[in-house]
């Protein structure tokens, strides 16, 4: 387990969970932000280390079981030393947000959230891919890359790309995590505060649609929209959860081909050195990544086998976490497995995209699906955005996830980070550097405005 703070008289346990290929050190800025606000006699922080580095290949379920054990061990240790913990908060970064959701489901099922035990207080996710990371494009090319990506990261990759069938459910794990009757949604609904922060641009690890639990991406072209930040001192980095974005009034000066080229060619030339470097390094980096992925996948399979085998003398004792996933009945099997199908382009009802409508056969395309979305995109605190933005070509399971997760209720904060090309690490200041300074604004907002002790 990562080095904890001294418990003192703290009755509130806060668990910080890192992401893919991560380590406890990635969350130092999160921990520091909390301790700058709350003394150690108010808040006891632990950063589980059992999923460090390549152990994150082993699957969200395996990671969740490891974190649950560390939490229970810490609670037992604190109790033995005379400290009574009455509140629990859990914070997940990137993949850690999904591991955290699995963990709290196990804790809920094992009775930790019953009256008189732990009060679930804050659940926070930073740049967590709630809907997975499959590319929301139509066509065979997209299907190929989604399949390839899902098979390069062992069990975690399969789950993130919705290619797995979790246990006996017949469905992907992420779909089960969002099932209303599951222990995972029951646990999530127990938390007093549910907050997420999602990068709107430049997050190539976990794009906005999945971290913001959204069927649309209004931020694909910022020149077409106006952003609405919260007030100082968090502006312009943090956008309003109620109405973060709106369409700009129609303009005609770039409606011609020459107008369009005039607005796009200068930025393109500015980016040429960067793209030239990427072109040079990509073949080398891709080869090294593929070789390492193959090696780590084999190692991961060996670890998972040991993790699940309690009959062996080397078994790790996780069988007690193999508990029923549903509170009142079996999970409904979705008949949408196999090659990705897409919604009929004439559909105008998001509810029909829940997996209960038969998709129409279409010619392959690599264009984003552009359905009318008259009911509005849910981009904030369960409120509807007034403008219509095109609906992405998500899988039926993903539309169902959006509906079920939004039903729980969230405070959703879009985050506009501009100083780096890749904002995924910056949102939590994964390492201390000047270019990540906007991430400090995110952490300050979270601690000052959203986190309750």
- pLDDT tens-place string over residues 376-390: 334 344 444 446 899
More confident site: 3 or 30: 30
Whole-number mean pLDDT of the chain? 80
Q: For residue 296, name the pLDDT band (cuts at 50, 70, 90).
A: low
**Is the pLDDT at 373 greater than 60, yes or no?**
no
Average confidence (pLDDT) over 113-121: 97
Q: Which residues pair with 414 in a beta bridge?
A: 198
pLDDT of the residue at 307? 72
pLDDT in tens, 87-107: 999 999 999 999 999 999 999
User: Which position has the higher pLDDT, 392 or 274?
Assistant: 392
With a cut of 50, say whether residue 412 has pLDDT above it: yes
Give the CA angle between residues 386, 390, 395 to the nearest 5°.
120
Place of tokens 């139509």: 138
pLDDT mean over 386-405: 90
What CA–CA distance (Å, rounded) separates 237 from 444? 11
Question: What tens digit of pLDDT does each residue of 158-217 get?
Answer: 999 999 999 889 999 999 999 999 999 999 999 999 999 999 999 999 999 999 999 999
Closest CA to 350 of 386, 398, 312, 303: 398
304 or 323, higher pLDDT:
323
Lowest-confidence segment of 105-119, 299-313, 328-342 by average pLDDT: 328-342
Highest mean pLDDT among 6-15, 150-159, 400-409: 400-409
Reply yes or no on whether the pLDDT at 368 is more than 60: no
pLDDT for the residue 251: 63
Please name the residues in contact with 103: beta carbons below 8 A apart, sequence gap of 6 or more. 15, 17, 64, 65, 67, 68, 71, 90
pLDDT at 431 over 90: yes
Q: How far apart are CA 144 and CA 150, in angstroms?
A: 10
CA 402-404-410 angle, to 5 degrees, is 75
Distances (CA, A) of 222 to 177, 196, 247, 274, 441: 32, 21, 9, 21, 21
Helix (H, G, I), strand (E, B) or coil at 106: helix
- Portion of the chain with pLDDT greater than 90, in percent: 59
In 257-354, beta strands by DSSP E: none
Let me know: does 62 contact 304? Beta carbons within 8 Å.
Answer: yes
- Residue 127 reports pLDDT greater than 80: yes
Q: Which ranges of 151-182 does DSSP label H, i.e. alpha helix? A: 154-160, 173-177
Residue of 284 and 103 predicted with greater confidence? 103
Task: Sort residue 20 into left (φ over 0), alpha (ψ -120 to 50) or beta.
Answer: beta
Q: Is 286 helix (H, G, I), strand (E, B) or coil?
A: helix
Span 316-348, pLDDT tens digits:
667 778 777 887 654 444 333 333 333 444 333
> Is 375's pLDDT higher than 60?
no
For 172-188, the pLDDT digits (tens) are 999 999 999 999 999 99
How confident is the model at residue 154, as a pLDDT?
81
Residue 36, Cβ neighbours under 10 Å: how many? Answer: 11
- At residue 353, the pLDDT reads 39
Strand order in the sheet with 411-415: 44-46, 12-17, 87-93, 119-126, 193-199, 411-415
pLDDT for res 159: 95
Could you give the 3-state DSSP secondary structure of residue 257? Answer: helix
- Token pair 């006996």 is at which residue? 168
Q: What is the DSSP string of 320-344?
A: GG---SBSSSPPPPPS--SS-----
**Global confidence as pTM:** 0.79
Q: Using one digit for the tens of pLDDT, what is the confidence trace for 55-84?
A: 898 999 999 999 999 999 999 999 999 999
Specify the range with the lowest mean pLDDT, choosing from 10-14, 286-290, 409-413: 286-290
Residue 331 and residue 169 in contact, taking contact as beta carbons nearer than 8 Å:
yes
User: What per-residue confidence (pLDDT) applies to 382?
Assistant: 42
Tell whether the model's pLDDT for residue 395 goes beyond 80: yes
Residue 314 confidence class, pLDDT cut points 50, 70, 90: very low
Is residue 289 pLDDT above 90, yes or no? no
Residue with tokens 């085998």: 309
Q: At what angle do helices 257-308 and 60-80 cross, to 10 degrees?
A: 60
Sign, Cα dihedral of 256, 262, 263, 265: positive
- The better pLDDT of the pair 343, 425 is held by 425
Distance CA 67, CA 90 (A): 11
């Amino acid at each position: 387990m990562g080095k904890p703070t001294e418990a003192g008289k703290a009755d509130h346990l806060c668990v910080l969970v890192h992401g893919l290929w991560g380590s406890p050190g990635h969350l130092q800025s999160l921990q520091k932000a909390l301790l700058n606000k709350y003394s150690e006699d108010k808040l006891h922080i632990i950063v589980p280390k059992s999923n460090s580095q390549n152990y994150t290949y082993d699957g969200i379920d395996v990671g969740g079981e490891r974190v649950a054990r560390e939490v229970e061990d810490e609670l037992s240790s604190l109790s033995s030393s005379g400290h009574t913990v009455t509140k629990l908060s859990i914070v997940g970064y990137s993949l850690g947000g999904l591991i955290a959701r699995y963990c709290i489901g196990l804790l809920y099922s094992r009775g930790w959230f019953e009256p008189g035990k732990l009060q679930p207080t804050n659940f926070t996710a930073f740049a967590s891919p709630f809907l997975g990371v499959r590319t929301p494009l139509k066509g065979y090319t997209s299907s190929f890359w989604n399949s390839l990506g899902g098979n390069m990261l062992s069990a975690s990759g399969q789950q993130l790309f919705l290619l797995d069938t979790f246990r006996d459910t017949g469905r992907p794990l992420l779909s089960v995590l969002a099932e209303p009757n599951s222990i995972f949604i029951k646990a999530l609904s127990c938390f007093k505060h549910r907050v997420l922060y999602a990068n709107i641009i430049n997050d190539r690890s976990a794009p906005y649609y999945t971290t913001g639990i959204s069927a649309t991406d209004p931020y694909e072209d910022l020149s077409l929209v106006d952003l609405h930040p919260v007030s100082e001192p968090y502006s312009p980095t943090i956008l309003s959860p109620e109405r973060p974005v709106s369409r700009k009034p129609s303009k005609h000066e770039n409606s011609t081909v020459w107008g369009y080229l005039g607005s796009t060619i200068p930025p393109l030339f500015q980016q040429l050195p960067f793209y030239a470097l990427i072109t040079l390094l990509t073949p080398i980096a891709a080869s090294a990544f593929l070789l390492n992925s193959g090696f780590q996948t084999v190692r991961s399979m060996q670890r998972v086998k040991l993790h699940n085998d309690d009959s062996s003398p080397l078994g790790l004792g996780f069988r007690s976490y193999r508990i029923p996933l549903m509170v009142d009945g079996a999970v409904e099997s979705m008949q949408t497995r196999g090659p990705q199908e897409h919604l009929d382009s004439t559909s105008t009802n998001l509810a029909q995209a829940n997996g209960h409508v038969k998709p129409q056969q279409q010619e392959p395309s690599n264009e984003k699906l552009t359905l009318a979305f008259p009911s509005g995109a849910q981009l904030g605190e369960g409120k509807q955005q007034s403008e219509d933005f095109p609906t992405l070509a998500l899988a039926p399971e993903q539309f169902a996830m959006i509906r079920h997760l939004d039903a729980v209720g969230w405070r959703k904060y879009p985050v506009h980070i501009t100083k780096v090309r890749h904002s995924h690490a910056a949102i939590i200041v994964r390492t201390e550097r000047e270019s990540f300074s906007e991430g400090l604004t995110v952490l300050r907002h979270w601690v000052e405005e959203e986190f309750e002790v």
